[in-house]
Chains A and B, each alone.
Chain A
Amino acid sequence: MNLEKVVFGFFVVLAATLNFGFFIGDIDNPDLHNPYELFAAVVVNLIATVLKFGDRTQIGAVHLATSLVADLQLIAASLFYGYAIYVSSAGLTASWTASVVSLSAGALLANVVSVVLLVVETVSFHRG
């Protein structure tokens, strides 16, 4: 067992699950999307990204790319969320919620790709 792989796998899967937890629920109902979960998703995603730094294998490069995409989408979602609450006069409306959740859905897709890559890597490692 390789501790590095455990830590890395942990963060990748945790990022995906947190992202999924925030995303699940009616897309325009703000009550179903917990901001704390979004925060946790951003933090875990950032850590997962940093963990991929300096990995020069092909699969490591794709990992880094997917993580960066997820970061971008989640940070965009947080910015939208903050804008809706603090700047916009209407507050967190259904359409704003939908935007935030759809952005997080995009991040989720990237995270799913990450998890798929992780699985592929693990499986091919056992074959080799």
Chain B
Amino acid sequence: MTRQQRRARRESVNAAAASEAQASETVFLVLRRMRAPLIVLITIFAVSVLGLTLIPGVDGQGRPFRMGFFDAFYVMSYTATTIGFGEIPYPFTYNQRMWVTISIYLTVIGWAYAIGSLLALLQDRSFRSARALQRFRRTVDRLAEPFVLIAGYGRAGEVLGHALDALGRRFVVLDVDPDRVDAVDLDAFHADVPGLAADAREPGRLAIAGLGHPRCEAVVALTDDEEVNLSVVMTANLLQPDVQVIARATSRAMAERMAAFGSPGVINPFDRFGDHLRLALRSPAAYQLMSWLESGPGAALPERTRPPRQGRWVVCGYGRLGREITADLRAEGLEVTVVEPHPGASEEPDLVVGDGVEPEVLARTRLADAVGFVAGTDNDTTNLSLVAAARRVNGSLFVAARQNRPASAPLFAAMDIDALLVPTEVIAHEVYAQVATPLLWRFLRELQGQDDDWAAGIVDRLLDLCGHRLQALWKVRLTPEEAPALSRWLGSGEARLGDLLRDPETREDPLHAVALLVLRNGEAFLAPDDDFVLSAGDEVLLAGRPSARRALSTVLFVDSALEYVVSGRRVPESWIWRKLSRTPAEEPVSTTRS
């Protein structure tokens, strides 16, 4: 199949998705439901009016008189609406009064039926969901900023949503559970977050939620059901191949199946936790820096954990997490003893069969001479009691535990665990790092190859500038569009980073910002120092205070501010003032306009 054929097919699929979106237009629903009541009402009116014109009456002089259609319609109009003007144009005969009495009751029944149906319709579930859908579609269509589509708004989605919101990014939520979507409305976000209760497996629903919207830049599948995540990856890849896709998967098989569709970012929390543990073993400061940056703006500096690098570890629970951790620890050259009630057919060098909560089983693991302990079962109560039992045997153990339910958080906090794994948070932080900006993701990957002292240095610099809470994290692209004042200065070959990061009011003060990474033609320079020479087209990732961000953007856009921070000279901004003060005998070094 050629590319064009494929595109044509994709467009037809999109059209199908769009027409499904229209299928529940509220107006049509109202019209359809109101057909019967309206017809009943028309019929009742018609019969009453016709009766009045046919029934003989008498006029003021006692002559026979028949009402015309206009009179009859007039009388019925005020009778039916229960206004009741009286008997017009002449007092009625008994014949007519009988008919009008019947008409009154008939029309009241008609109105009651029509109004009742309308009210019932407004209360109707399908009608309300149709209205919610329509409103949702309209809000998504109107989104003018880039946004992220989050399918599955569980704990991970919530954490991710808050981190994105703190970064000033927009997102749209899709979840099967209406309660979680209501929670989106109740939550305090800076921007309006559209949410829809719908099954993410349906391509039509994804289309309504913004897949196919030109501003949709990433789709994140975080539902509990991995099949659903797979189908989101599939849909996004087939309908919108250019959109970035990130999905949660907890098994390797599922990750493989997802990888068949484009190249989605697949996040396996257990795998990631194993990697984190390895990083923490090798370089505690790098791990600390990574988890701080991944937590998003406003996060407090996490404690620096120092897992023991020598000795024997005991891993309780040999499930998906246990296997990953055991493999990672062994790869680091550590001994591992595994405790598992149902070991299956696996051949483990050091395996204790039994339930870890039983004292004699735990005793067989020789905890007294172990250095680390992992409570990794999928039951929070078991994990907590394992930790307590292990600590009683050996108080100096390094303890890692897995927390499955958000509600258990206070208990784990009270236990003071050395390394806590919350799968949903691992996922949320990973997704955040990938979606926030490609530079942050790049920085975090490069970070893992660095040594501990380097990472500790960066942490100290960040602490100096921002304090214990991470402030803003932003990206600057040194292009003529995004930094118009800089073009000439960048070309001079003396554009040092340290000169740029100065306060445009008093240049002796450095800005409260650190450049974490400079990306030039795909090559990354980690934490460049003040003498680093910038060139046009560089992308710079900065961390610091929001005020520094504003000050820096002044320097990027205003020629005279740049001139001042670079050379210390105050250059008049306007042409007239320059003529009057006659300052520049020679050309200013950095102005683009002469």
A residues contacting B by CB (< 8 A) are 35-36, 39, 43, 46-47, 50-51, 53-54, 56, 78, 81-82, 85-86
CB distance from B125 to the nearest CB of A (A): 18
Q: How far is the CA of A46 from the CA of B38 in the complex (A)?
A: 9
Instruction: Report if B85 contacts A (CB, 8 A).
Output: no
Q: List 17 A-B contacts (CB under 8 A).
A: A36-B50, A36-B53, A43-B42, A43-B46, A46-B42, A47-B39, A50-B35, A50-B42, A51-B39, A53-B34, A53-B38, A54-B33, A54-B35, A56-B28, A82-B70, A85-B68, A86-B70
Please indicate which of the listed interface residues A39, A53, A56, A82 has the most CB atoms of chain B within 10 Å of its own CB: A53
B132 at the interface (CB under 8 A from A): no
Task: Check A85 against B70 for contact (C-beta < 8 Å).
Answer: yes
Residue of A nearest to B22 (CB): A56
- CB-CB under 8 A from B50, the residues of chain A are 36, 39
* Whole-angstrom CA separation of A46 from B566 in the bound complex: 80
A27 to B135, CA, bound (A): 53
The answer, yes or no, to whether B43 is at the interface (CB within 8 Å) is yes
Check if A47 sits within 8 Å of B43, measured CB to CB: yes
B49 contacts A by Cβ under 8 Å: yes
B69 and A53 contact, CB distance less than 8 A: no
Contacting A54 at CB < 8 Å: which of B28, B39, B53? Answer: B28
Seed contacts A46-B42, A47-B42, A86-B70; 11 additional CB < 8 Å A-B pairs: A35-B69, A36-B50, A39-B46, A39-B49, A39-B69, A43-B45, A43-B46, A51-B39, A53-B32, A54-B31, A86-B68
Judged by DSSP, the binding face of B is helix
B35 contact set on A, CB distance < 8 A: 50-51, 53-54
Task: Give Cα A35 to B72, complex, Å.
Answer: 13
On chain B, the residues within 8 Å of A85 by CB distance are 68, 70
Inter-chain CA distance A86–B88, complex, in Å, is 14
B29 beta carbon closer than 8 Å to chain A? yes
**Shortest 6 CB-CB distances between A and B: which pairs?**
A54-B32, A53-B31, A54-B31, A43-B46, A82-B70, A50-B38
The size class of the interface chain B forms with chain A is 20 to 34
Interface residues of A: mostly helix, strand, loop or mixed? Answer: helix
Q: Which residues B471-492 have CB closer than 8 A to chain A?
A: none
**How far, in whole Å, are A36 and B25 apart by their CA atoms in the complex?**
39
Chain B positions within 8 Å of A86 at CB level: 68, 70
Complex Cα–Cα for A86 and B25 (A): 44
- The CA-CA distance from A12 to B259 in the complex, in Å, is 58
Residues of A within 8 A of B45 (CB): 43
Within 8 A of A (CB), among B1-44: 25, 28-29, 31-35, 38-39, 42-43
- Who on chain B is nearest to A85 by CB? B68
Which residues of chain A are near B38, meaning CB under 8 Å?
Answer: 50, 53
For B32, give the chain A residue with the smallest CB separation. A54
- With both chains docked as a complex, state the minimum distance between the C-beta of A38 and any C-beta of chain B, in angstroms: 8
How distant is the Cα of A53 from the Cα of B27 in the complex, in angstroms? 10
Q: How many A-B residue pairs have CB under 8 A?
A: 46
- Return the chain A residue nearest B45 by Cβ: A43
Write out the residue numbers on chain B whose beta carbons fall within 8 Å of the beta carbon of A51.
35, 39
A51 to B35, CA, bound (A): 6
In the complex, A86 Cα to B89 Cα: how many Å?
12
Contacts of B53 in A (CB 8 A): 36, 39
- The complex places the Cα of A47 from the Cα of B37 at a distance, in Å, of 11
Q: Is the CB of B69 within 8 A of A54?
A: no
> Which B254-304 residues sit within 8 Å CB-CB of chain A?
none
Chain A residues with Cβ under 8 A from B70's Cβ?
A: 82, 85-86
- The listed residue with most B CB atoms (<10 A of its CB), out of A36, A43, A50, A56, is A50
**Distance from B254 Cβ to chain A, minimum over Cβ atoms (Å):** 40
Which residues of the partner chain B approach A47 to less than 8 Å between Cβ atoms? 39, 42-43
Q: Hey, which chain A residues are within 8 Å of B46, CB to CB?
A: 39, 43
With both chains docked as a complex, state the minimum distance between the C-beta of B278 and any C-beta of chain A, in angstroms.
Answer: 59
- CB A44 to nearest CB in B, in angstroms, measures 9
Contacts of B28 in A (CB 8 A): 54, 56
Most buried by A among B42, B43, B49: B42
CB contacts (< 8 Å) of A53 on chain B: these are 31-32, 34-35, 38
Q: What distance in Å separates the Cβ of B261 from its nearest Cβ neighbour in chain A?
A: 34
- Tell me whether B39 and A78 are in contact (CB under 8 A): no
Task: Check A82 against B29 for contact (C-beta < 8 Å).
Answer: no
How far is it, in angstroms, between the C-alpha of A49 and the C-alpha of B589 when the chains are bound?
77
Give the residue name and chain of the A residue nearest to B41 (CB).
Answer: A50
Residue contact A50 to B68, C-beta cutoff 8 Å: no
List of B residues within 8 angstroms of A35 by Cβ: 68-69
The closest CB in chain A to the CB of B54 belongs to: A36
Contacts of A78 in B (CB 8 A): 69
State A38–B35 Cα separation when bound (angstroms).
Answer: 23
A86 to B28, CA, bound (A): 40
Complex: chain B residue closest to A64, CB-CB: B31
Considering the chains assembled together, what is the distance between the CA atoms of A47 and B70 in angstroms? 20
Within the assembled complex, what's the spacing in Å between the Cα atoms of A21 and B35?
27
Within 8 Å CB of A81, what residues of B? 69
Distance in angstroms between the alpha carbons of A86 and B31 in the assembled complex: 36
By a CB distance below 8 angstroms, the chain B residues around A50 are: 34-35, 38-39, 42
Cβ < 8 Å to A, chain B residues 544-573: none
Q: Who on chain A is nearest to B38 by CB?
A: A50
Please name all residues of chain A whose beta carbon is closer than 8 Å to the beta carbon of B31 when the two chains form the complex.
Answer: 53-54
Complex CA distance for A50 and B40, rounded to whole angstroms: 11
CB distance from B310 to the nearest CB of A (A): 73
A36–B31 Cα gap in the complex (Å)?
29
Distance in angstroms between the alpha carbons of A43 and B25 in the assembled complex: 28
Which B residues lie within 8 Å of A56 (CB)?
A: 25, 28
Nearest to A45 among chain B residues (CB) is B42
Instruction: State the CA gap A35–B68 with chains docked (Å).
Output: 9
Distance between Cα atoms of A46 and B43 in the complex (Å): 10
A11 to chain B, nearest CB (A): 9
From A44, which residue of chain B is reached at the shortest CB distance? B46
Residue with the greatest number of chain A CB neighbours at <10 A, chosen from B33, B46, B50? B46
Q: How far is the CA of A9 from the CA of B83 in the complex (A)?
A: 37
Q: Which residue on A lies nearest to B89, using beta carbons?
A: A86
Question: From residue 431 to 472 of chain B, which have CB atoms closer than 8 A to chain A?
Answer: none
Chain A residue nearest in CB terms to B27:
A54
Q: Which residue of B lies closest to A38 (CB)?
A: B69
Interface residues of B in 316-339 (CB under 8 A from A): none
A82 to B69, CA, bound (A): 8
CB-defined contacts of A82 to chain B, threshold 8 Å: 68-70
CB distance from A86 to the nearest CB of B (A): 6
State the CA gap A43–B45 with chains docked (Å).
Answer: 9
CB distance from B49 to the nearest CB of A (A): 7
B387-402: which have CB < 8 Å to A?
Answer: none
Q: In the assembled complex, how far is the CB of residue B262 from the closest CB belonging to chain A, in whole angstroms? A: 36
